[in-house]
């Protein structure tokens, strides 16, 4: 019985060990299956990616090229031809279009009051400064009294003439006496007129003592103070911009002046300001400076607070228009041989094309020679291409501005 029990116990332990071993083996097998499956999935993904890359490479390969050749993608534009305003850029100094100095018109004297300041608007005939006139006023009063004396003498002479005319018919007064009394009456009347004219001249001189604005405009400067004694040699006491109109004195080369005419519109922008003002050319210099070969175009601009005489401003002058291709600045290249662009040639090869450019605007560069506008022009990175190099052109959606 004891031997039998021992064998039974041994058999039971072996059975349990066999069961444990089988479960571990199954777990290892399951893990192995998951690992193998994951490896297979990764391999399939890699094969698919390689297949897709291989297909893209075949598409990028130009006809006749090798299956593994990759061509560089290049953005290109077809500029066409468009109407572009011909703009001439210029700079110059601002000034009053009609800068009027105002000084003493009469004999002058001591300034009592100054009535205006720079920056104020004045009307024609407005008093700018008052000069002491007490002496001239007394002289005018004296002349007015002399007129009354002359009128009294004329009345007396007229009465004597009337009495003489009544007695001449009776023979008491001769015709010669009558003529003398008539002459005396006429002389008295003339003295009245002389006194009146003298008084008028005196009053006119008094009126000229005040410094008055010759025209309506903007007071630019003042160089007189109360208490100052001024006269005909004192120079300008005020400066007035007639009507407040300003102008830009733009200096331009002779070739640009030949393209301009009176009335051409201009955009004027003062230095330090982002606002532009509309003006127009009102005069073109009839002479050219022999040294600089430049002339002056005078551009009239209505009064604006930002336009101050003596300041600096830039101008864009519209000198007609031109029809030409317009390219972004990134497409136009320059080297020792000159200005050029890269275009797409036969079989999608890069080719160099020499061009001549005009003005550079905020929209791009005007090409005046070298392009018809129907070419495919490399928009950027043209400097990295070699003539004859195969490329893959891609049309740009919108030109860069």
- Evaluated on CA atoms 219, 220, 224, 230, the torsion sign reads negative
CATH architecture assignment, domain 244-320: Beta Barrel (2.40)
Q: What is the pLDDT of residue 238?
A: 94
Q: What is the pLDDT of residue 69?
A: 56
| Averaged pLDDT for residues 27-51 | 75
Residue 399 has pLDDT above 70, yes or no: no
Residue 87 pLDDT level (bands cut at 50, 70, 90): confident
* Alpha carbons 125 and 211: distance in angstroms, whole number: 9
| Averaged pLDDT for residues 75-81 | 88
Total number of residues shown for the chain: 401
Q: What is the pLDDT of residue 384?
A: 83
Q: What is the pLDDT of residue 57?
A: 42
Contacts 24+ apart (CB under 8 A), 138-145: 139/202, 140/199, 140/202, 140/203, 140/206, 143/195, 143/198, 143/199, 143/202, 144/199
User: Under 8 Å CB-to-CB from 175, ≥6 apart: which residues?
Assistant: 168
pLDDT in tens, 142-158: 888 888 888 898 888 88
How far is the CA of 257 from the CAs of 6, 33, 295, in angstroms? 128, 89, 7
How far is the CA of 131 from the CAs of 106, 116, 226, 317, in angstroms? 10, 14, 9, 48
Q: What is the pLDDT of residue 6?
A: 42
pTM of this structure: 0.54
Q: What is the pLDDT of residue 313?
A: 92
Write down the CATH number for the domain with range 73-83+324-395. Answer: 2.40.420.20
Total Cβ atoms within 10 A of residue 142:
12
SS3 for 338?
A: strand
Higher pLDDT, 260 or 30: 260
| Averaged pLDDT for residues 200-204 | 84
* Alpha carbons 281 and 200: distance in angstroms, whole number: 46
pLDDT in tens, 365-390: 888 888 988 888 998 877 788 888 88
% of the chain residues with pLDDT over 70: 86
pLDDT in tens, 258-310: 888 898 899 999 988 888 999 999 999 888 988 888 899 999 998 888 888 88
* Alpha carbons 342 and 363: distance in angstroms, whole number: 20
Q: What is the pLDDT of residue 140?
A: 83
Residue 13 has pLDDT above 80, yes or no: no
DSSP per position, 288-332: --TTT-EEEEEEEE---TT--TT-EEEEEEEEEEEEE-EE-GGG-
Q: What is the pLDDT of residue 86?
A: 73
**Helices 134-167/175-209 angle, 10° precision:** 160
Q: What is the pLDDT of residue 235?
A: 85
How far is the CA of 110 from the CAs of 52, 210, 213, 223, in angstroms? 100, 11, 19, 14
CA 162 to chain centre: 82
Mean pLDDT of the chain: 81
Domain boundaries, the chain: 1-62, 73-83+324-395, 101-222, 244-320
Q: Radius of gyration of the chain from Cα atoms?
A: 52
* Alpha carbons 151 and 199: distance in angstroms, whole number: 14
SS3 for 361?
A: strand
pLDDT in tens, 89-125: 888 999 999 999 998 887 888 898 999 999 899 999 9
Nearest C-alpha neighbor of 238 from the set 97, 101, 124:
101
- Contact at 8 Å (CB) between 178 and 172? no
Q: What is the pLDDT of residue 51?
A: 62
| Averaged pLDDT for residues 335-359 | 88
Residue 53 pLDDT level (bands cut at 50, 70, 90): low
């Amino acid at each position: 019985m004891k031997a039998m029990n021992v064998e039974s116990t041994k058999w039971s332990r072996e059975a349990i060990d066999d069961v444990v071993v089988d479960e571990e083996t199954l777990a290892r097998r399951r893990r192995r299956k998951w690992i193998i499956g994951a490896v297979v999935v990764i391999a399939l993904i890699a094969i698919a990616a390689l297949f897709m890359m291989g297909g893209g490479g075949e598409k990028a390969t130009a006809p006749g090229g090798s299956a593994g050749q990759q061509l560089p993608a290049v953005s290109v534009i077809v500029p066409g031809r468009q109407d572009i305003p011909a703009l001439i850029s210029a700079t110059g100094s601002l000034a009053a279009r009609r800068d009027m100095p105002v000084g003493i018109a009469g004999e002058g004297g001591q300034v009592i009051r100054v009535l205006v300041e720079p920056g104020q608007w004045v009307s024609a005939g407005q008093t700018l400064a008052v000069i002491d006139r007490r002496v001239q006023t007394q002289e005018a009063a004296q002349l007015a009294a002399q007129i009354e004396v002359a009128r009294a003498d004329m009345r007396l002479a007229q009465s004597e003439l009337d009495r003489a005319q009544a007695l001449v018919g009776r023979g008491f007064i001769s015709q010669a006496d009558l003529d003398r009394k008539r002459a005396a009456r006429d002389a008295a009347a003339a003295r009245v007129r002389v006194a009146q004219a003298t008084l008028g001249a005196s009053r006119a001189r008094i009126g000229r003592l005040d410094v008055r604005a010759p025209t309506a405009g903007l007071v630019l400067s003042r160089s007189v103070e109360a208490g100052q004694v001024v006269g005909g040699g004192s120079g300008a006491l005020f400066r007035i911009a007639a009507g407040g109109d300003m102008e830009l004195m733009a200096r331009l080369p002779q070739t640009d002046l030949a393209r301009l005419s009176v009335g051409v519109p201009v955009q004027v922008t003062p230095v330090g300001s982002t606002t532009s003002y509309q003006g127009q050319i009102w005069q073109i210099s009839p002479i050219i400076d022999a040294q600089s070969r430049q002339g002056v175009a005078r551009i009239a601009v209505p009064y604006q607070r930002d336009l101050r005489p003596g300041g600096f401003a830039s101008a864009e002058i519209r000198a007609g228009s031109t029809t030409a291709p317009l390219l972004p600045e990134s497409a136009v290249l320059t080297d020792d041989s000159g200005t050029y662009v890269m275009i797409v040639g036969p079989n999608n090869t890069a080719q160099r094309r020499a061009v001549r450019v005009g003005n550079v605007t905020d929209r791009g560069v005007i090409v005046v020679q070298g392009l018809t506008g129907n070419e495919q022009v490399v928009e950027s990175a043209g400097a990295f291409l070699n003539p004859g190099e195969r490329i893959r052109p891609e049309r740009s959606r919108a030109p860069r501005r």
